[in-house]
Structure 1
Amino acid sequence: MRRPLACALLAMVFVEHVSYAQPRVPGRAEAPPPPPVQPQNPLAAQTTELPPPPEVSDPMLTPVPRAALEIGTWEDALKHIRARSTDLHIAIQEVARAEGQSRVALAGVLPTINGTGTYTHNIITNTTAQFSGFGANGVPTTRPVNTPYPNYFTGAIVAVQPFIALRAWNAIGTANVAIDAARQSVEETKRQIALGVANAIVAVVTSERIAELNRIGLRNALQRLDLTSRKQALGGATGIDVVRARQDVEDARATLVAGDETLRQNRENLGLALGIPDQIGVPPTVDINGLERDARSICKPVETVDERPDVATLLTRVRIARRNVNDVWFQFSPSVNLQSQVATTTVDTGAAPNSTWNVQAVLTVPIWDGGARYGNLRDTRAQELQAYERAEAQRRQALIDIDRARRGVGVADDRRRVASAARDLAAENDRLTRVSYQEGRGTSLELVTTAQALRSAEIQLALREFETVNARILAVLALAKCPW
């Protein structure tokens, strides 16, 4: 066996020697030298193009049906809110109640007129002689009458005009302040409704995007399963590779089902925010970045935190509590009423006229009521302190909310940039892993892991993008009032 091997080596050396020792022939073109061998680029795999993915079909790839009713502008949302929002209607009725109480307070300083009428029938009577006048020659005459009168009617009209009524005057001012508080509460309700509707719209758009990404993820998982199955048929993959691909498909299905339900719930939440007990969608053409511009158009910024409707409402309630303390103090003061009464009766006494009319000035001086006023004074003073503490607590919370909202814009934008970079890295990692797997250098575990990481990164980026929009809207509404 050594002799054929040695002969082969000698032949190779001879041929190589002849090729190098062959003289140049004049007039003959030299053969071009062989091209140099290029060193292998370790990053060549990064530029490898993937073949087109196979076509796959699955019933779950069908998107969720669009909602029957969709809103695309703030004007559409405000139209439904004005007509159907229960929170707004409750707040408006609170203003009506405050106006009604103001009219009640005004009645305390206006005259009151009451009329009474009484018909009396006496069952037991006695007959007596009643003087009826003088007869001929100046002789007194009498007539028999029943005492008491068996049947008679009396009527009276009484008018009372408060003249000095400190409590009533204070009540009028308190009622007017209560109207201001109710109107400020309406503005706060509108601000909260605007914030809630904006959040609901952003949530629906976010859920729509995530549902779309979930279907893309399921499609990619189905394509990987198809490729793995084909590779197994050719002997390039094992059964565990196919099982891992199928697990990835089922994980993508579970994520898709949860995302679709979240989309439906967010549509229902938008419907509730608009006062409609149904799913309300957002058209795909809506400009989500325009929500901030629309929020600025319907809600105007205020200069100080004390002008924000919720803080202003509680500060107004402090004024009401202080006036309630004054109301108790006025209970110690006297009051003067002017009264007038017109009365008539069918009883003819012969001495007094049947009809009378009088005018009275009534002075009322409170002396002792068992200590109820002192108890009310302690109660109202405590209520005033409570109202002040509530206003101060809300003011501090509002300051923190404003700072967080303004800071949240930058934080949300930073998180969006980080999520975008993470998504790009996850996409490149997934592409390289697929290339390696198709070339037989990667494992199915790496393929499934990078695919799941890419789906998660896509969802996180979508959440961060819409979170940035939401943060900008919150920054606009954090220090504003909405007079729409």
Structure 2
Amino acid sequence: MRQSVRVRSTLALSAIVALATWAPTSYAQQPSKRPPKTPAAQPAAPTTPAPPLNTPLEVPPPPTVNDPMLAPVPPAAKNVGSWEQALDMVRARSTDLRIAFDQVKAAEAQSRVALGSALPTLQGTGAATYNFLTKDQQQIAGLDVTGGTITPRFQSVESPTRGPFLTGSLVAAVPLLSPRAWYGIGTAHATEDFARLSVEDAKRTIALNVANSLIGVVTAERVAELNRIGFRSALERLELAQRRKQLGAATGLDVVRAQQDVESARATLVTGDESLRKTREALGLALGTGEPIGVEPSISLDGIEKSAGTACKPAGSIEERADIAAARQNVVRTERTITDAKYQYSPTITAQSTLSATSVDSNQQNPTWNIQAILSVPFYDGGIRDGQRRAAYAATDQAEQQLVAKRRAAEVDVARARRQVSVATDSRKVAADARQLAAELDRLTRAQYIEGEGTSLDLVIAGSGLRNADVNLALRDFELVQARIVSLLALANCPF
């Protein structure tokens, strides 16, 4: 009986010594106060009391573990090294920015069209004609004298208009009175200004999207790294639980709990790696390419925030923000369409001169030249102008309501963005405190377990809590920087 007790005591002590290798290497290294291991033939009896739980323990390195999933996610084929490089890629490849610039070019083209309708025009026409059905002409071929009577003799001659013959004309027209054409020039310029302001709003939106995408990749990289650290820690727990079971100091339940913790950490690792791949793809789309793009390790969250603040300048008020200015200009543009519809009822006067010539041999003047003054009065067109006038009123009211809605949304966005900075700061502080508590709980739980107190369930729960706290703190860092950038760009213009 005594021999059996001695054997069990020796096994328990050996298991405790083996578990000392489980503690993380980040613990403070201090001289150990634990007694030396006694020989197997003598009872294990410590000569000094166990150290308090809050005293750091000197522990050997953790056991060596190996798993294919410990390898990091392969780096992206292309990486962004700075905010300026990201903006260069946006200028060269962004489809949204290209579309906005194309809209400006289209508005400029319409301005030229509006100007052309108020300027003189010169138009030339030419035609080659052959008439298949014509009437022959009768002409006097001579005179017949019979008995003192003179009778003309006629003969049929082919009509000179049968052809082929050529005709040409040159027409010059000068608008003398054209109120609608003159007013349309100003309307086209208003549309051009609206398109330019839309480009500025697109730049602000693109800058915010790029900044968020960059921060998302940096955060996903950090979360993936933390997931691997937690996964390695879970594998070390499993290795030591299996070793302890072999020494007789643990049960199969302890091993199963450790295995369950490993699978939970593995699932988190898989999800985190996929999130990293998605954020790289999102960054690629934001930069105007279809391939994933990563970030250089030298990029930091604070650096992204400072660079975004340099590229975008704060606006004085909500009215100066690009989208509000564009909506206000849209109201001006649509209001002009009402007056444009009214000008359709106005008469027009045009001076026109025509020079024409033909190859037909006739007795008429060839070529001919005339000058005309043409008065055009639109009396009735079936109701087309009235319908266009009512459509212009409806479009103007719609633009005004859109301006009101954008103002309200902008006010809420600015207030929410500024408030979110305070909320994100508090959330980050709470997450930092929770992470510190989780780390201390994990340390104390390990220390207790090494001293033979506590259960494997406590150990697994403490380790899982520390992993979650690390990831949560990384996410709160991301949210804080994101909130600062959103607060900056909520009331800013980005003339990059």
TM-score w.r.t. the length of structure 1 is: 0.86
- Greater CA drift, 378-387 or 366-375: 366-375
Secondary structure of the equivalent of 1:46?
Answer: coil
What amino acid is aligned across from residue 235 of structure 2 in structure 1?
Answer: L
| From 227, 231, 234, the counterpart of 1:221 | 234
What amino acid is aligned across from residue 111 of structure 2 in structure 1?
Answer: S
Cα distance, 1:483–1:142 mapped onto 2, change above 3 Å: farther
Offset, 1:476: 1.1
- Please name the residue that 1:185 is paired with: 198
| From 260, 283, 288, the counterpart of 1:270 | 283
CA distance in 1, matches of 2:141, 2:182: 54
| From 298, 304, 308, the counterpart of 2:321 | 308
- Please name the residue that 2:25 is paired with: none
CA displacement, residues 13-54 of structure 1 (integer Å, 9 cap, x when unaligned): xxxxxxxxxxxxxxxxxxxxxxxxxxx999921114262322
Offset, 1:172: 0.9
- Please name the residue that 2:53 is paired with: 45
1:302 and 1:481 in contact (8 A); partners too: yes
Secondary structure of the equivalent of 1:49?
Answer: coil
CA distance in 1, matches of 2:65, 2:387: 80
1:213 and 1:455 in contact (8 A); partners too: yes
1:308 and 1:481 in contact (8 A); partners too: yes
Offset, 1:119: 2.7
Offset, 1:204: 0.4
Counterparts in 2 of 1:272-287, with a 5 A limit? 272-287=285-300
What amino acid is aligned across from residue 82 of structure 1 in structure 2?
Answer: R
| From 311, 332, 336, the counterpart of 2:349 | 336
Cα distance, 1:130–1:330 mapped onto 2, change above 3 Å: farther
Counterparts in 2 of 1:131-170, with a 5 A limit? 145-147=157-159, 149-151=161-163, 152-170=165-183
Cα distance, 1:115–1:223 mapped onto 2, change above 3 Å: same
In structure 1, stretches of 5+ residues that fail to align are: 1-39, 133-139
User: Does 2:458 correspond to 1:446?
Assistant: yes
User: Does 2:247 correspond to 1:234?
Assistant: yes
CA distance in 2, matches of 1:441, 1:408: 44
- Please name the residue that 2:225 is paired with: 212
Aligned CA-pair RMSD: 2.2
| From 420, 423, 430, the counterpart of 1:418 | 430
Cα distance, 1:42–1:422 mapped onto 2, change above 3 Å: farther
User: Does 2:332 correspond to 1:319?
Assistant: yes
- Please name the residue that 1:22 is paired with: none
2:160 and 2:361 in contact (8 A); partners too: no
Counterparts in 2 of 1:245-256, with a 5 A limit? 245-256=258-269
1:321 and 1:384 in contact (8 A); partners too: yes
| From 399, 415, 422, the counterpart of 2:411 | 399
- Please name the residue that 2:126 is paired with: 117
In structure 2, stretches of 5+ residues that fail to align are: 1-47, 143-151
User: Rg: which structure is higher?
Assistant: 1
- Greater CA drift, 472-481 or 43-52: 43-52
- Please name the residue that 2:6 is paired with: none
- Please name the residue that 1:32 is paired with: none
Offset, 1:251: 0.6
Offset, 1:101: 0.8
CA distance in 2, matches of 1:122, 1:230: 111
What amino acid is aligned across from residue 139 of structure 2 in structure 1?
Answer: A
Cα distance, 1:315–1:130 mapped onto 2, change above 3 Å: farther
Aligned residue pair count = 437
User: Does 2:72 correspond to 1:60?
Assistant: no
Offset, 1:200: 0.5
Cα distance, 1:141–1:289 mapped onto 2, change above 3 Å: farther
Cα distance, 1:367–1:231 mapped onto 2, change above 3 Å: same
- Please name the residue that 1:432 is paired with: 444
Secondary structure of the equivalent of 1:155?
Answer: strand
2:281 and 2:291 in contact (8 A); partners too: yes
TM-score w.r.t. the length of structure 2 is: 0.84
1:84 and 1:276 in contact (8 A); partners too: yes
- Please name the residue that 1:71 is paired with: 80
